Amino acid sequence: MEIIAADMEWQALAQKALSGECLTLDEGLSVLEADNDEVLPLLQAAFKVRKHFYGKKVKLNMIINAKSGLCPEDCGYCSQSIVSTAPVNKYTLLDKDTLLAGAREAMARKAGTYCIVAAGKGPTDKELDQVVDAVREIRETMPLKICACLGILKDEQAERLAEAGVHRYNHNLNTSKANYPSITTTHTYDQRVETVEKVKTYGMSPCSGVIIGMGETNQEIVEMAYALRDIDADSIPINFLNAIPGTPLEHAGRTPSMKALKVLALFRFTCPSKEIRVAGGREVNLRTLQPLSLYAANSLFVGDYLTTAGQEVGTDHQMIEDLGFEIELSAL
């Protein structure tokens, strides 16, 4: 009887999400604190919502680390930050030919979205010129959706990116507002929110997500989901901390695989119609349970991340096929 009652509870949350109602804090906490025995019925309920909006299609995204290891920010999770001693490659913004080659590789990997990422507080005018030049040629020659992630933007920079053809701009909230000062001190949570709102003003689709496993409480995870619902992020990458030696968070433990699945279900219920992406750290946190993540999420990064290795692309393709799902070949 307890199993049946739990199943009905999760199905009720799915119905609530489908009707556009927001979960209460207690309902959100019940998802995160559910017994591990309830994860499969929980995912079944999340899949009901995911299937309603996205069927069995999976969106693939590919990242290129367009500028590496030269960031003045002190984000505790990042191997490229000024406080990190992790051995990472250091180089200025890649030239146009290299960015174009990355776009062609994204297509070879069956990714519909190509993500140009440059660590830093924000782009210089010269860097923006380089990105704009590359984006224009990609838009003219390839059927790719382009996402840029270049840090905090000025109004004129956001306008130029939009005019060049950038479809989406990523700026993650990363953690809760209360937890933010423990993660970085060189910019604020509010500055992150302001950037997301700014890119919406200039017609770019807002992409913003979180990193789970940085000392946040379960209540803060629910609050993070609420915050992304409130700013109406179209695409929500859910990262799970991959603790890198040489960073301030190097000793943080991994998120248990079953907890990671509950987090994905929570975000599906809270932001039901949005693209929920299983992002960085999925390989080391979800481990062998990665296929189950796609019952709540509808998007993946394929290939490597910024400074850490991802799963082999063919393995991701095979995982999607084995689930009976289908890669969405064009994101346009």
- Is residue 147 part of an annotated ligand binding site? yes
Strand partners, 327: 58
- Is residue 22 part of an annotated ligand binding site? no
Burial of 159 (0-12, 13-18, 19+ CB in 10 A): middle
- Is residue 78 part of an annotated ligand binding site? yes
Asked if residue 225 lies in contact with residue 266, where contact means CB atoms within 8 angstroms, the answer is yes
Structure tokens of 262?
């509950």
- Is residue 71 part of an annotated ligand binding site? yes
Residue 5's CB: how many other CB atoms inside 10 A? Answer: 8
Give phi and psi for 212, each to the nearest 5.
Answer: -90, 135
In terms of phi and psi (left: phi > 0; alpha: psi -120 to 50; beta: otherwise), the region of 213 is left
Question: Could you tell me the sign of the dihedral formed by the alpha carbons of 170, 178, 239, 24, in that order?
Answer: negative
- Is residue 75 part of an annotated ligand binding site? yes
Give phi and psi for 159, each to the nearest 5.
Answer: -65, -45
HSE toward the beta carbon, residue 139, CA cutoff 13 A: 15
- Is residue 207 part of an annotated ligand binding site? yes
Contacts of 2 (CB under 8 A, 6+ apart): none
Coil, strand, or helix at residue 249? coil
CA dihedral 45→206→200→164, nearest 10 degrees, is -140
CA dihedral 195→198→200→203, nearest 10 degrees, is -130
Residue 220's CB: how many other CB atoms inside 10 A? Answer: 18
Strand partners, 61: 113, 301
- Is residue 271 part of an annotated ligand binding site? no
Coil, strand, or helix at residue 203? coil
Question: Could you tell me the sign of the dihedral formed by the alpha carbons of 109, 111, 116, 119, in that order?
Answer: negative
Binding site feature residues? 71, 75, 78, 115, 147, 207, 277
Binding site feature residues for [2Fe-2S] cluster? 115, 147, 207, 277
Binding site feature residues for [4Fe-4S] cluster? 71, 75, 78
